[in-house]
Structure 1
Amino acid sequence: MKKIILLIGAAAGLSSTIVGVASAQRFSGYPYQTGQEVYEHICQGCHMPDAKGATGAGTYPALASNPRLQAGVYPVIVMLRGQKAMPSFADLTDKQIADVTDYIRTHFGNQYPGTITPDQVGKMRPQQIKRDAQRPG
């Protein structure tokens, strides 16, 4: 009985640690410094390391050779608002969103010209906030 209580206590301690880390992450932001780091730690879990997407429990679209990425604002809007099953990643900084956008637009078979700046991302945020406030639920 003592072992079971110790295991339950250890599991409770682990879950509170995980919750604490997740809460700290939410309020302190993501530590990733480059577009590649953001992609590798956040995006590739769904879009895959080769950015070819996946189908299984859900459908995760390919970013590799994706003509929608030609418009640099497209991935920014998707990250800020979310789309279908993809949640919003508006908690990323303007720089992180700009960097990962530029990264996916110039890797994985994509060679789209131009860059997105943090200033451009910042200017899209107020529109995002207004839309979120208008959404029911």
Structure 2
Amino acid sequence: MRKNILMAGTMVLLAVTVIAQQKKQIHKTLPVTAKSSVAAGEDVYTQFCVSCHLPDGGGVENMNPPLINTSYINGDKARIITTVLNGMSQQEIDGERYNNVMPAFNYLTDKQVADVLTFVRNSFGNKKPAVTVADVKATRVKLVK
């Protein structure tokens, strides 16, 4: 029992260290306007995403996809925005099938969606352009029609 508690504590410390290192890297490379979006996006990620995609963005094999260098994260912004707004189920991503259901987060504001996706697209080794509120609005309008 004591060994399990020690191991769990070590894993939490490791996750906190990884996130702190990622923050340093993100803030070195992003424009000033995107930095505030990344910071706000990290809060959204912690509240809604971390339980499935984990602190390091590694996901869970066969359940929740990783957020590290995948076509979904680094590809078309509209596709990842649609995924956040509509959710996902039984999806294949980059040749791997993930069976857990991702709920729709369509109740998040356009800013929250833009911030969390900017955070993800600039964390975990990803370095992609920010997702803007205008990107989210445009995608949301198309989904409503």
TM range (shorter): 0.5 to 0.7
Q: Note if 1:87 corresponds to 2:103.
A: yes
Distance 1:43 1:105 in 2: 14
| Corresponding residue for residue 66 of structure 2 | 62
Count, aligned residues:
95
Return the match for 1:47 from 44, 48, 53: 53
Of structures 1 and 2, the one with the larger relative CO (CA 8 A, separation 6+) is 2
Task: Kindly provide the CA deviation profile for residues 70-117 of structure 1, in whole angstroms up to 9, marking residues without a partner as x.
Answer: 2222221100111111111010000000011111001001112x2211
| Structure with the greater alpha carbon radius of gyration | 1
- Aligned-residue sequence identity (percent) comes to 34
1:46 CA displacement: 0.5
Pairwise CA distance, 1:128: 1.9
TM-score by length of 1: 0.64
Equivalent-residue separation in structure 1 for 2:86 and 2:142 (angstroms): 10
Q: TM-score, normalised by structure 2?
A: 0.60
Gap regions ≥5 residues in structure 1: 1-32, 131-137
In 2, distance between residues paired with 1:75 and 1:117? 13
Q: Could you say what secondary structure the match of 1:128 adopts?
A: helix
